[in-house]
Amino acid sequence: MIAARSWTNYYEWNSHSQEAITAGLGAAIIAAVADGRRPEQMTDDEAILYDICTELLHNQSVSDPTYARAVSKFGESGVVEAASLVGYYTYLAMIMNTARTPMPGRTKSALAPFPK
């Protein structure tokens, strides 16, 4: 969802925000990500993953403190998997945005575009 928000990709956002709801992610967290804000009340796992994703997307790297927290919580393989997923969904968003991939079934996304 963070990559979808960063790239304003409606297709990914629609799919993954629905999956997040089903998996039990709080509506306030989803709304904050949609607004481009850091969610206020996250579990430790959620906060670490949020930091990894946003730092990778905004800084093209992860800070030493974020990396250390993530390795402590998820192990090096978990950090690599998180980075891989950010890269994968960034790639897909780039392709779908370029190709102007429509929403399935002509549904309208709840994700508003960021101002240009």
Q: Which residue has the higher pLDDT, 24 or 107?
A: 24
DSSP string, 46-69: HHHHHHHHHHHHHHSS--HHHHHH
Q: Which two tokens stand for residue 2?
A: 């963070």
Let me know: does 12 contact 3? Beta carbons within 8 Å: yes
Give helix then strand counts, H and E, for the chain. Answer: 5, 0
Among residues 52, 55, 60, 42, which one has the least CA distance to residue 31?
A: 42
Q: Which residue has the higher pLDDT, 102 or 66?
A: 66
The gap from C-alpha 17 to its chain's centroid, in whole angstroms, comes to: 10
For 78, list phi and psi in degrees, rounded to 5.
-65, -40
- The CA-CA-CA angle for residues 54, 27, 57, to 5°, reads 10
Query: What's the pLDDT tens digit per position in 22-79?
Result: 999 999 999 999 999 999 999 999 999 999 999 999 999 999 999 999 999 999 999 9
Map residue 74 onto helix, strand or coil.
helix
